[in-house]
Structure 1
Amino acid sequence: MKIETRSIEFVPHRERYGRPRRLFSVWFSSNLQVTALMVGTLGVASGLSVLWTLAGLALGCLLGTIFMAAHSAQGPHLGVPQMIQSRAQFGVLGAAIPLLVMVTAAVLFMAASGVLMRDPLKALLGVTDDQAIVLIGITTFLIGAVGYELIHRLGAWMSVLSSIVFGAALVLILTRAEAGQIFHVEADGFSLPIFNLVVAQAASWTLGYGPYVADYSRYLPADVSARHTFWTTYFGCALGSLGMMALGAVLAAAVPSALSVDPGTAIASLFGPWAKAALIVVALGVIQYNVLCLYSAYMSATTIFSGFAKVTQVTQGAKLLLMAILSTVACAIAIRTQYHFDTFFADILIGQLYLLIPWSAINLVDYYVVTRGRYHIDALYDAQGRYGRWNRRTLIVYGVSIIGTVPFMKLSFHEGYFAQLIGADVSWIAGLALASVLYYICSANRQSVHRNVVATRCVTSAAFANREK
């Protein structure tokens, strides 16, 4: 297995390989880990009944994954990283703004995973709190340095191992004598604000993959069906995330003491003498998820730098240095926040939702409606080219869409007018609708222009095949 040499550049057709089914194992296994499980515990911990929590998780996962999978379907067609393609909407330099959000979110999730794995590693290796977090960071860095192929292979193995461990854990929880009582519907077991928060948190989890999901499909051959890419990504992510979140909700209700310890240790304790073996699988699952976060943070940070420095390729040394810096920052944040983790984690989920939803809407409307997937690949790397340095109209739409969701936000320090009227935070729905409509209106005149340009000089991933021959 060779170390990945490609970074932000177009992947030549002679280097394309694999089938869409590889995407299923990557996204299924990356969600079968305790960071996703933690999302499922939040509703029960806030007082929502198990059944209502499960309903909210299902609604959020199934909706959020639609947008995530729609981004994935772009990869084989274009052959470039997701956020490089975003330059077509924001400009070569303007794309740095949503990219900064992406880098920040990925690093914060790496930090959150480090905190979640602290106690399991302490139980396995007998290390201190800080040493456990650093070990997670080092292991994540080593796998991320190898890159794409190792990530896919690890995903295939973890799909099997994690399914066995977490499937067995669910059976063990449900066979407890008192477990059946958790599914009784109580009159005070529903709260609309909490239910909507659960939906938003679940949707945020899957939507968070949007800015880098195409990074894992861009190596597929250009003739791979967009439909196959969409559905293998969708089912992999939806089944994995919903399965783990549901397990988290059941665990929080059936074993309330699990909320006072880390979920990894709580799961492993169910296996008695096999607890250490279960902990190893739990730890590997979190490390795999962390690798995805590191890889995406690296790709996004590189895209920012390359736009300003006019770089189209990144050396192996620069890649390792940047990954080392990102891993170090994540470890530092984890060490600093480890003793007030619950608040930190919930804030990440909602915070990224406010900022990533408008980006996702703009990207998908542009790709599927405005340009129909027709882009000039060379221009994505040229600040003086067709897409320019800064696309002011898109940046204004992005900013207005974020500001426009403020009245729908419900936070500990702010409750918007409509959030108060409705009794729930529905800002993610407002952001999605507002950004989609505004971007379409501002870009309507580009549709006819794009169709004329396509006939002369537009170069898509498929057109690159002729140039390589």
Structure 2
Amino acid sequence: MAGVVEQRSIDVVPDAERHGTAVSQFTLWLGANLQITAVVTGALAVVFGANAFWSLLGLLLGNLLGGAVMALHSAQGPRLGLPQMISSRAQFGVRGAVVPLALVIVMYIGFFASGTVLAGQAVGHLTHLGDTTGIIAFAAITAFAAAVGYRLIHALGRIAGLVCAVAFVYLGVRLLERTDLAALLHDRAFDFPVFLLAVSLSASWQLAFGPYVADYSRYLPRHTSARATFWWTLSGSVLGSQWSMTFGALAAAAAPAAFVGHEVSYIVGLGSAGLMASVLYFVIALGKLTVNVLNTYGGFMSMVTSVSGFRGQRTLSPRGRSLYFAGIMVVGSAVALLGKDSFLTSFKDFLLFLLTFFTPWSAINLVDYYLISKERYDIPALSDPAGRYGAWNGKALLVYGIGLVAQLPFLVTHFYTGPLVAPLGGADISWLIGLVVPAALYWLAARRDTDRIPAADTGVAPTAEAAPRS
């Protein structure tokens, strides 16, 4: 296992350990998105009022917009050789980055829990041990796979992409045998607020990958084209998510009473009984395993980054690494067990509220990396609170806070609706505000801060054959 289990965490990946091609991003993100939670996300557009025709178009638009932002983060991986969130230190400071990091960790726990609810149901049915046992078993398998690390994660993506693609073709055929597609798409009455809801649902799905997407491209060789990394990531993520969401939207429109609230049993019911039912339960669990491993691995990276900002960057022992993953598993499982009976409404609110916290971070990170620093970061300074980036960057933190507050008047969730929502006919445009406002403010605040921008020859990761592991 020594050559399989990953040894690195938040340290720079040296050139000698780089491997793979940009195509690996396509298979990983295709596999991560061909799964039941994406199906539920697509169904939510119909559940909350949109017809099937405009749901599909809204979901596609959101996937493309959010996927482009997410893929821009992915393109940073080969250049820097670092996990995604540690690069936030260049904007927020070595310790100031803990502010968005804390929220990222909450995101990982939430996605871990929501995915475990559905996958746990599948495992419970497959093993005949019930939902609770299924949730716990699935969480344990997830933690183990994440602990093994990068190579296994990409292997899971390749396997899940192939298996789930075949399964979704089969499920699509079975769904169309039971319903009239032309009738489902006949209603084309346009309702702008619910159309925007569909856009927001899929955009939030894509944007939520942003805080960890570069974790899975950082081992690519430094010479890997940023354009290739962008397009392979975007195409895999958009194809997988739109495929899943289309199935969910059509299923919810065709059989709302049978599908909504019974997603797992409905999908399995599309197949014949016996062996095929078991195969579909397995497919549901496999699809969720891929993305849940991403969430667990990302949570581990974010926790280590947060702690190292205050304690210094130290070598992480195998025992310490295992404790991080065990903690994520325990907390995520507890949340899943507590929330499994109110999953659908809670998940919709979680997705939309989550978007509030990550669009400002995304905007600041991308403006800084591409427009201000011009893809040049001082890698050693990312670990030094007394270095170029400092411990805290008040400007960036203030812009981030303004970006959060600016969204609130436009936000729509079950527990809070902003005052400017009604004049817009109920449309939620908070995520657009969360991208545009902090992007503009950060550009104005940081564009003349030249001391933070290293010379071209110090802005790349070291090329040593080996580097300290942490």
Letter of the 2:437 counterpart: L
Cross-structure match for 1:201: 201
1:289 to 2:291 alignment: yes
Match of 2:440 in 1: 437
Distance between the aligned counterparts of 1:243 and 1:297, measured in 2? Answer: 27
For residues 58-137 of structure 1, the aligned pairs below 5 Å read: 58-137=60-139
- Greater mean alpha carbon deviation, residues 431-440 or residues 342-351: 342-351
Question: Is the 1:54–1:249 Cα contact (8 Å) retained in structure 2?
Answer: yes
Q: Secondary structure at the match of 2:431?
A: helix
Given candidates 280, 283, 286, the residue that maps to 2:282 is 280
Match of 1:214 in 2: 214
Which residue of the partner structure matches residue 142 of structure 2?
Answer: 140
Indicate how the Cα distance of structure 1 residues 433 and 186 shifts in structure 2: closer, same or farther if over 3 A, else same: closer
* Alpha carbons of structure 1 residues 226 and 178: separation in structure 2 relative to 1, 3 Å: closer
Paired letter, 2:69: F
Q: Structure 1 vs Structure 2: percent identity of aligned residues?
A: 40
User: Does the 8 Å contact 2:361/2:400 carry over to 1?
Assistant: yes
Larger mean CA deviation between 327-336 and 313-322 belongs to: 313-322
State the partner residue of 1:343.
Answer: 345
Change (3 A) 1:224 1:260: closer
1:32 to 27, 30, 34: 34
Is contact 1:8–1:313 with CA below 8 Å preserved after alignment? no
What one-letter code is carried by the residue in structure 1 that aligns with 2:25?
A: L
Comparing 3-12 with 166-175, which one deviates more in the overlay?
166-175
Stretch of structure 1 that moved more, 342-351 or 226-235: 342-351
Q: Equivalent residue for 2:430?
A: 427
Q: What residue number does 1:175 align with?
A: 177
1:305 equivalent among 304, 307, 311: 307
Q: Quickly say closer, same or farther: Cα 1:436–1:40, change in 2 above 3 A.
A: same
Residue 392 of structure 2 is aligned to residue 394 of structure 1: no
Secondary structure of 1:416 counterpart:
coil
Say what the alpha-carbon RMSD is for the aligned residues: 1.7
Distance 1:393 1:114 in 2: 38
Distance in 1, Cα, partners of 2:158 & 2:280:
18
Deviation at residue 192 of structure 1 after TM alignment? 2.2
In the TM superposition, residue 208 of structure 1 has moved relative to its aligned partner by 0.4
TM-score, normalization by structure 2: 0.95
Contact 2:125–2:131 at 8 Å: present in 1 too?
no
Displacement, 1:467?
Answer: 8.5
* Offset, 1:129: 2.4
Q: CA deviation at 1:313?
A: 3.2
Q: Deviations over 1:249-297 (max 9, x none)?
A: 0111123234344323321211103111121111111111110000001
> What residue identity is the alignment partner of 2:436?
A
Give the deviation of 1:410 after TM superposition. Answer: 2.5
Q: Which runs of 5+ in 2 are unaligned?
A: none
AA aligned opposite 2:217: S
The answer to whether the aligner puts 1:248 opposite 2:248 as a matched pair is yes
2:368 alignment partner in structure 1? 366
CA contact (8 A) 1:312 1:381 kept: no
CA distance in 2, matches of 1:399, 1:13: 37
Q: Which deviations, in whole Å up to 9, do the C-alpha atoms of 1:27-50 show, x marking residues without a partner?
A: 010000001111000011122110
Alpha-carbon shift at residue 353 of structure 1 (Å): 0.4
| 1:7-31 per-position Cα deviation (integer Å, ceiling 9, x unaligned) | 0000011000110001110001000
Output aligned runs, 1:148-159, within 5 Å: 148-159=150-161
Amino acid at match of 1:59: L
Q: Secondary structure of 2:195's partner?
A: helix
Cα distance, 1:312 vs structure 2: 4.0
Q: 1:340 to 1:450 in 2, by over 3 A?
A: closer
Equivalent-residue separation in structure 1 for 2:196 and 2:86 (angstroms): 33
Contact 2:252 2:260 in 1 (8 A): no
Residues 70 and 364 in structure 1, CA contact (< 8 A), matched pair in contact too: yes
Question: What one-letter code is carried by the residue in structure 2 that aligns with 1:165?
Answer: A
Q: CA deviation at 1:390?
A: 0.6
CA shift at 1:186, angstroms? 5.5
Cα gap change, 1:5/1:179 in structure 2, threshold over 3 Å: closer, same or farther?
A: same
Letter in 1 for 2:17: E
The amino acid that maps onto 1:143 is A
The residue that corresponds to 1:407 in the other structure is 409
Matches of 1:372 and 1:313, distance apart in 2: 31
Gaps of 5+ in 1: none
Pick closer, same or farther for the CA change 1:255–1:414 going to 2, 3 Å. Answer: closer
Secondary structure at the aligned position of 1:175 is classed as helix
Structure 1 residue 77, shift from structure 2 partner: 0.4
Equivalent residues of 2:352, 2:413 under 8 A apart: no
Q: CA 1:36 to 1:350, structure 2 compared with 1: closer, same or farther past 3 Å?
A: same
C-alpha distance in 2 between matches for 1:199 and 1:402: 20
CA contact (8 A) 1:380 1:387 kept: yes
Q: Please give the per-residue CA displacement for 1:186-210, whole angstroms capped at 9, x wherever unaligned.
A: 54xx432222111111100000000
Contact 1:7 1:313 (C-alpha < 8 Å) held by counterparts: no
CA change 1:257–1:120 in 2 (3 A) is farther
Deviation track 1:66-95 (CA, whole Å, cap 9, x = no partner) reads: 000000000000011111111000001000
Question: How much has 1:468 moved relative to structure 2?
Answer: 6.9
What do residues 346-405 of structure 1 show as CA deviations (whole Å, max 9, x unaligned)?
111011100000000000000000000111100101111111111011000000111111
Following superposition, the deviation at residue 174 of structure 1 comes to 1.1
Contact 2:117 2:336 in 1 (8 A): yes
Letter paired with 1:33:
Q
2:138 and 2:193 mapped to 1: Cα distance?
35
- Counterpart position of 1:318: 320
CA distance in structure 1 between the aligned counterparts of 2:416 and 2:335, rounded to whole angstroms: 25
Aligned 8 A contact 1:74 1:226 in 2? yes
* C-alpha distance in structure 2 between counterparts of 1:413 and 1:351, whole Å: 10
Question: TM-score with structure 1 length normalisation?
Answer: 0.95
Amino acid at match of 2:255: V
* Other structure's SS at 1:272 match: coil
1:165 to 163, 167, 188: 167
Query: Residue 30 of structure 1 aligns to which amino acid in structure 2?
Result: A
Distance of 1:146 and 1:184 partners within structure 2: 49
For 1:467 and 1:156, the matched residues in 2 are separated by 29
